[in-house]
């Protein structure tokens, strides 16, 4: 196991995933250590259950998702493994261990779907937006807003600062505008509904019913974009532009 197993990291990164409050923050480290021990002993099913208990209890962190992905990968459950690696990546987009394991798992995918070429600006904006997590982009923008507010307040209270205010604002305001624009980009990047196929094999249909004809099959681990939902079905789109409908239970939302 690697650095992501450290309980200290978990203490710093565990945040409420939902307002359920089923597990208190003080209980998380002990559950995490117990699941780590089971993993190191090779009891991957029970280790996965332990990590899932933390997540289902309303807490999430990159270490928990990463270790949960490892536990599923050790059991050859490719779909859940990639799902939790992707969730970990969303929370820690620059962690090389997560990226390495995700790419290794993707190497075992059965579906080889070539993506359509994207405009250069789309590729660049996606790379920039994905360099930081959504929370980091929001924190940067909020910090710059706060600094700008404090400076304006200081100038109002101490008029002597008025002479140096223009050059300061010339730095703060463009930085604030840029960070706000990047935060909007990041929000779009991270909030685009994406899912992982969890079923070993599933038919993509032309419509949201079992009686609709099958267009093609997908296999576990393939990532798709969710376009819309209808009556227990989800319309999905693939990087090559093809689309169709899948039962909602065959997908895990990232």
State the average pLDDT over residues 89-104: 96
State the average pLDDT over residues 135-144: 85
63 vs 32: CA distance, rounded Å? 9
**Domain edges within the chain:** 3-106, 120-191, 194-253
- Per-residue pLDDT reduced to its tens digit, 151-160: 888 877 777 7
Choose between 215 and 179: higher pLDDT: 215
Nearest C-alpha neighbor of 137 from the set 76, 182, 193, 77 = 182
Q: What is the pLDDT of residue 112?
A: 87
> What is the pLDDT of the chain when averaged over all its residues?
86
Give me the residue label for tokens 């909007």: 184
pTM, full prediction: 0.79
Q: Give the DSSP letter of residue 205.
A: E
Q: What is the pLDDT of residue 15?
A: 56
79 vs 111: CA distance, rounded Å? 12
- CA dist 93 → 32, 156, 168 (Å): 22, 40, 32
- Checking 189-194 for CB contacts under 8 A at 24+ apart, the result is 189/125, 189/126, 189/129, 189/130, 189/134, 190/90, 190/129, 190/133, 190/134, 191/134, 192/225, 193/225, 193/226, 193/253, 194/86, 194/223, 194/224, 194/225, 194/226, 194/253, 194/254
Hey, is 166 helix, strand or coil?
helix
Fold of the CATH domain 3-106: 1.25.40
- Per-residue pLDDT reduced to its tens digit, 59-71: 999 999 999 999 9
Tell me what percent of the residues of the chain surpass a pLDDT of 70. Answer: 89
- Asked if the model's pLDDT at residue 78 lies above 90, the reply is yes
Residue 214 tokens read as 């099958």
Domain 194-253 has CATH 3.40.50.450: no
Residue 98 tokens read as 């997560």
Query: Confidence class of residue 17 from pLDDT cuts 50, 70 and 90?
Result: low
């Amino acid at each position: 196991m690697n650095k992501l197993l450290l309980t200290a990291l978990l203490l710093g990164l565990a945040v409420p995933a939902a307002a359920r409050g089923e597990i208190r923050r003080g209980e998380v480290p002990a559950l995490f250590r117990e699941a780590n021990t089971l993993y190191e002993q090779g009891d991957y099913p029970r280790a996965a259950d332990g990590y899932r208990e933390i997540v289902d209890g309303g807490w999430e962190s990159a270490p928990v998702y990463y270790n949960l992905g490892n536990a599923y990968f050790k059991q050859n459950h490719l779909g859940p493994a990639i799902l939790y690696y992707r969730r970990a990546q969303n929370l820690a987009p620059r962690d090389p261990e997560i990226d390495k394991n995700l790419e290794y798992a993707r190497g075992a995918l059965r579906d080889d779907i070539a993506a359509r070429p994207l405009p250069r600006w789309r590729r660049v904006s996606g790379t920039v937006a994905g360099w930081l997590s959504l929370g980091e982009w929001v924190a940067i923008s909020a910090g710059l807003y706060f600094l700008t507010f404090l400076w304006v307040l200081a100038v109002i209270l101490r008029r002597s600062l008025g002479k140096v205010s223009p050059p300061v604002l010339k730095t703060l305001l463009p930085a604030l505008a840029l960070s706000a624009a990047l935060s909007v980009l990041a929000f779009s990047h991270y909030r685009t509904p994406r899912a992982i196929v969890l079923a070993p094999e599933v038919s993509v249909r032309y419509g949201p019913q079992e009686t609709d004809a099958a267009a093609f099959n997908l296999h576990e681990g393939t990532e798709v974009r969710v376009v819309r939902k209808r009556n227990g079905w989800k319309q999905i789109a693939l990087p090559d532009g093809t689309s169709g409908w899948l039962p909602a239970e065959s997908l895990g939302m990232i």
